[in-house]
Structure 1
């Protein structure tokens, strides 16, 4: 299986605190890989390092065969490595479609000059239409984000990332705040992404979602990988149960 993303000995520190400690991670092309762990395990710190928002203190990040460890976030995005965010930060005065149109534009001098002459509606729409359809948002394309449910707003955040036509999308807690039906709907969309040429690294606390859509799951605890394997293997791993799944199961029966 070809590795689209390969991470070797990644270490992330904040002052004297080590948030991620020598993590190795491989994301095969055409797969959905889960990255889970309890609060403070280093999941978001890992995503920040992989997408260039926080420079690692050690290690290498290779994407599509190229070392991108020192690249800035926008340059990684141009290569096809994008992310979503835990919080739903949308332009509430723009329609859903316009939010995606803004995200789909690769900004630069030529693009800025074109924006002075052409309204945004005349820009290429193929990627935006594709992302809207993929996330089931075509019917609300002309509505404002404030008119949508929380679940659909989260889907707009996913669609905004997809409007950039990425090869790999890193999703940070896309199911946070969703009810069961909304989480199931999100899972359907995520599971279909590899068929559209989009590989996924999924970080989420919704274990039902992660274990139902992922081909492989990597588990972090205190910044280190403590387990990796198929969803079935992760379910039955004693170290995972002790660190994370056990607590989740107890909460679900409360």
Structure 2
């Protein structure tokens, strides 16, 4: 298992378990043709915590995130967010309820500055707006005061004040990753799902990312669902973790429990795991 660095988690596991659930998933199944990507997985993410989802390539992690955020239609299962069943809602409708995400591939507009990227993200999401921005990104005006305040807050949370007027190509990979997180935060979500935010980062950048992530629930009231391969990052910042392998949940518990679980060690170090996706 790849362990590069540690960030001290501040939330005791017992306290995390006692908090009310913000997201509850039961019996989630995702299939592509005859292939089962996620097999009857249950999750319960407490509000005000960082919840980790880990597993080797092809384990079904991104397929789960796509199902939770409405980009993939699950074959079965129930998704409850903030006490409301959201399984039938579209991605933009889930975003309006406070469910945000990042993408592995990155979703920054290269011809917009960091600040402008966040201003676009802070606008009210509709299907028409999303399609328009994909086809013809524009340079937005400052927007209303609420948007402006949310963008300033997201920039501050991610420590991007010094690069706010730069373009994505002008900043390091680590800072671009933080811009992607800031874009998700710019709409003030209740829960943010981060899909491989540490991919490609060196140890120093990963540690800085971990420190930033830890402040989200503790200082800003944003619950985090973290999906990543960086075991040092995940084990050190998360309050609770679920481990997937070939779409099935093989382990669930606190970082201390997961770290010593032989099934997790086998999944990462033993056997051959086909597929390059997550």
Q: 2: distance between equivalents of 1:108 and 1:36?
A: 31
The CA deviation string for residues 20-44 of structure 1, in whole angstroms up to 9 with x for no partner, is: 0000011100000100001111000
**Residue 73 (structure 1) aligned to one of 87, 91, 97:** 91
Find the residue that maps to 2:142 and give its secondary structure.
helix
Q: What residue is the counterpart of 1:120 in the other structure?
A: 141
Q: Count matched residues.
A: 240
Q: What residue is the counterpart of 1:58 in the other structure?
A: 76
Q: Is it true that 1:13 corresponds to 2:37 in the alignment? A: no
Find the residue that maps to 1:136 and give its secondary structure.
coil
Q: Is it true that 1:220 corresponds to 2:220 in the alignment? A: no
User: Which runs of structure 2 are paired with 1:181-200 in the superposition (5 Å)?
Assistant: 181-195=204-218, 196-200=220-224
Q: What residue is the counterpart of 1:115 in the other structure?
A: none
Q: What residue is the counterpart of 1:163 in the other structure?
A: 186
Which stretches in structure 1 are left out of the alignment for 5+ residues? 112-118, 248-254
Find the residue that maps to 2:232 and give its secondary structure.
helix
Q: What residue is the counterpart of 2:114 in the other structure?
A: 96
How far does residue 108 in structure 1 lie from its aligned partner after superposition?
5.1
Q: 2: distance between equivalents of 1:161 and 1:20?
A: 25
8 Å CA contact 2:54, 2:244 repeated in 1: yes
Cα separation, partners in 2 of 1:246 and 1:138, compared to 1, 3 Å = farther
Find the residue that maps to 2:38 and give its secondary structure.
strand
How far does residue 157 in structure 1 lie from its aligned partner after superposition?
0.2
Q: Is it true that 1:28 corresponds to 2:46 in the alignment? A: yes
Find the residue that maps to 1:121 and give its secondary structure.
coil
Cα separation, partners in 2 of 1:241 and 1:107, compared to 1, 3 Å = closer
Q: 2: distance between equivalents of 1:28 and 1:177?
A: 29
Find the residue that maps to 1:200 and give its secondary structure.
strand
Q: 1: distance between equivalents of 2:55 and 2:200?
A: 18
Could you say what the CA RMSD is over the residues aligned between the two structures, in angstroms?
Answer: 1.6
Q: What residue is the counterpart of 2:257 in the other structure?
A: 233
Q: 2: distance between equivalents of 1:107 and 1:235?
A: 39
Q: 2: distance between equivalents of 1:236 and 1:99?
A: 41
The CA deviation string for residues 179-205 of structure 1, in whole angstroms up to 9 with x for no partner, is: 110000000010110020100010000
Q: Any runs of at least 4 consecutive aligned residues in structure 1 with deviations exceeding 6 A, and if so which?
A: none
Find the residue that maps to 1:77 and give its secondary structure.
helix
Find the residue that maps to 2:257 and give its secondary structure.
helix
Find the residue that maps to 2:73 and give its secondary structure.
coil
Taking structure 2 as the reference length, the TM-score comes to 0.84
User: Which runs of structure 2 are paired with 1:136-155 in the superposition (5 Å)?
Assistant: 136-155=159-178
Q: 2: distance between equivalents of 1:132 and 1:157?
A: 11
